[in-house]
Structure 1
Amino acid sequence: MDRRTALKNITLGLGYVATTSSMLSVLNSCKEQNPAWKASFLTPDEQSMVSHLVDIILPKDDLPGALDVNVPQFIDKMLDAVETKENQQLFRSGGEIFGQLLENKAGKKKSNANRTDIESIFKELFTINEVEQERIKSLTNKKVAEVAETDKENYLLYSFLMKIRYYTLFGYYTSEKVGEEILSYDPVPGVFQGCIPLSDVGNAWSL
């Protein structure tokens, strides 16, 4: 399956999100390109790491990448305006662990780390066997108070990366450009057909 097909189909697994007024304002505020954007929540080091990570998760090829639709700005605004204080602190703690791992592996300050440095660590963290995948999945599904002290570092690290992955997909597929140019889109919906073969539906639809 090529990337275009995968991106069209992956939205079917994301489910529906109840979009509150605050989320709508976040989505609307991230439409315009702003190369010199100033983060509201992310520190400069976090901003750099998040920007590289979203580009690694959804790079540009024949389709727009995450950077083309301002996903880092979206993540920053969601963390600032939507996430709870507790979740903000968990994200920040996980970012500190990832940053320290980056410095140790790359042998340079995280502020100087490039995309290649970050991609190497990202691949290493997710090149794990199925047993370890299930363990990480189970771990990150817990509340922080339920996590043993010996697992806390992995919990914070993977929660940080999973949060970025979630908001990368969310921000990408709720962007105007992707909704209108990649997914199926009908600005004036027609008649409702509730019982038709899935094969007739075709591409995932932008709602």
Structure 2
Amino acid sequence: MLHAEREIDGRRSALIKLAGLCGLALSGDALAALAATGKAPAAPELLSADALALTAVLAEHIIPATDTPGALAVGAHRTIDHMLMVCATATEQQSFIAGLERVDAVALAADGKRFRALPAKRRVALLHALDGAAAPFTADDQRFFRTLKSYTLFAYYTSEAGSTLELAYLPVPGGYKGNFPVRKNTRTWALT
């Protein structure tokens, strides 16, 4: 099994276990998407190759590589594509794709280049305008970007690298205390 396949399977398995342990309410579609087995897709599931590449660049700006891997390294763009395909409604899918197209259209109009071809400093400036709904971006564009950020955070922090290298990982919170003295007035623990 390739490293990417192991990471995808590990991410899905970890999230499902975490959901069960924490009693998280995930929709059946979300759990099915995470539990899906198989190899990492060679081609995008919903997005075009260009839209997937743009999603990768945007996600990497949201969570860049530092001393830990960034969104691109953990394949957040592929997870976003998969979640859109499996969990999003047709309207949400179209809105997301339209948001990506709008980012490229603004970059072309302002700079004569697609967003991915712009220098990093210019991309960051456009993303600040997008995040603040500043001209030429609108409130709809801002909603798209917030959706993208939400997907990126979910994809990153449910990856093995995001959950173990970026965050502190404690498999059993509170630790284990064996041989605990039990008395008549010792209370038991309730799991809620």
TM-score bucket of the superposed structures, by smaller chain: 0.5 to 0.7
Q: Does 1:70 align with 2:54?
A: no
In 2: Cα distance, 1:104 partner to 1:30 partner? 42
Give percent identity, aligned residues only.
29
Partner of 2:57: 52
CA contact (8 A) 1:179 1:185 kept: yes
Partner of 2:126: 121
Distance 1:76 1:159, change over 3 A: same
Partner of 1:183: 167
Provide the TM-score with structure 1 as the length reference. 0.60
- What is the aligned counterpart of 2:25 among 2, 18, 31? 18
CA contact (8 A) 1:58 1:65 kept: yes
Provide the TM-score with structure 2 as the length reference. 0.64
CA contact (8 A) 1:39 1:76 kept: yes
Partner of 1:166: 150
In 2: Cα distance, 1:169 partner to 1:109 partner? 24
Q: How many residues align?
A: 151
In 2: Cα distance, 1:52 partner to 1:118 partner? 10
CA contact (8 A) 1:55 1:67 kept: yes
Query: Which one-letter code corresponds to 2:157 in the other structure?
Result: Y
The CA deviation string for residues 100-132 of structure 1, in whole angstroms up to 9 with x for no partner, is 10111221245x624625333112333x5xxx7
Partner of 1:100: 105
In 2: Cα distance, 1:115 partner to 1:42 partner? 24
C-alpha RMSD of the superposition: 3.2
Higher Cα Rg, which structure: 2
Q: Does 1:38 align with 2:43?
A: yes
The CA deviation string for residues 32-82 of structure 1, in whole angstroms up to 9 with x for no partner, is 8x6x94211112221122111111111001112111211000110111110
CA contact (8 A) 1:39 1:47 kept: yes
Query: Which one-letter code corresponds to 1:179 in the other structure?
Result: S
CA contact (8 A) 1:31 1:175 kept: no
Query: Which one-letter code corresponds to 2:66 in the other structure?
Result: D
The CA deviation string for residues 16-42 of structure 1, in whole angstroms up to 9 with x for no partner, is 96334543454466998x6x9421111
- Aligned-pair CA distance for 1:159: 2.0
Partner of 1:197: none
Matches within 5 A, 1:126-141: 126=131, 128=132
Query: Which one-letter code corresponds to 1:169 in the other structure?
Result: L
Query: Which one-letter code corresponds to 1:113 in the other structure?
Result: A
CA contact (8 A) 1:75 1:168 kept: yes
CA contact (8 A) 2:68 2:165 kept: no
In 2: Cα distance, 1:165 partner to 1:30 partner? 25
Higher relative contact order (CA 8 A, sep 6+): 1
Distance 1:158 1:39, change over 3 A: same
